[in-house]
Amino acid sequence: MDATKRPEDVVTVDVHTAKDLLTSGHRYLDVRTIEEFNKSHVEDALNAPYMFITQEGRVKNPEFLAQVSSICEEKDHLVVGCNSGGRSLRACVDLLNAGFKHVTNMEGGYSAWVDNCFAGNKTAEEFKVACKFRP
């Protein structure tokens, strides 16, 4: 059996490489909250929130792996993104440990996607600024 995967085991690519992967058949898994996803997202993205924002702060979604398994297969090639790269990195670790084989983290998340003008609309730029987490 393979050793438990850690963040340093995750393959991370920049948004340009991620965009190339998506045009060559990879699927985009957006792990932001449903609210963030509904405001703007990568075209044809799937959504399974890795965390929820509650009154107590951010809480890991206990159904994350089940939700991903209901929309993706372990053999699927996935590009995983969030808003800036933190949640997606942790999500990638969990996915690898759950048996997903082809998981790639998108560095910089949706913010980097928008910064590189891949979103193509003003609403996305406004959203990127509005959804930054504040300490």
* pTM of the complete model: 0.86
Phi, psi of 92 (to 5 degrees): -60, -45
pLDDT in tens, 22-50: 999 999 999 999 999 999 899 999 999 99
Cβ neighbours of residue 78 closer than 8 Å, sequence gap 6 or more: 26, 27, 28, 29, 72, 95, 100, 102, 103, 104
pLDDT in tens, 95-112: 999 999 999 999 999 998
Q: What is the pLDDT confidence band of residue 133, given thresholds at 50, 70 and 90?
A: very low
- What is the spatial distance between Cα 97 and Cα 10, in angstroms, rounded to a whole number? 11
Say whether pLDDT at 117 is over 90. no
Say whether pLDDT at 56 is over 80. yes
Q: What is the pLDDT confidence band of residue 121, given thresholds at 50, 70 and 90?
A: low
Q: Is 79 helix (H, G, I), strand (E, B) or coil?
A: strand
**Of residues 82, 92, 117, 131, which has the active-site annotation?**
82
DSSP character at residue 8: G
Concerning whether 131 is annotated as a catalytic residue, the answer is: no
pLDDT at 3: 78
pLDDT at 114: 86
pLDDT at 2: 57
- Look at residues 32, 50, 51 and name the one whose alpha carbon lies nearest to residue 42: 32
Residue 88: C-alpha distances to residues 7, 33, 47, 74, 122 (Å):
10, 12, 12, 17, 24
Say whether pLDDT at 131 is over 70. no
With vertex at residue 77, the alpha carbon angle to CA 106 and CA 92, rounded to the nearest 5 degrees, is 45
End-to-end CA distance of the chain: 39
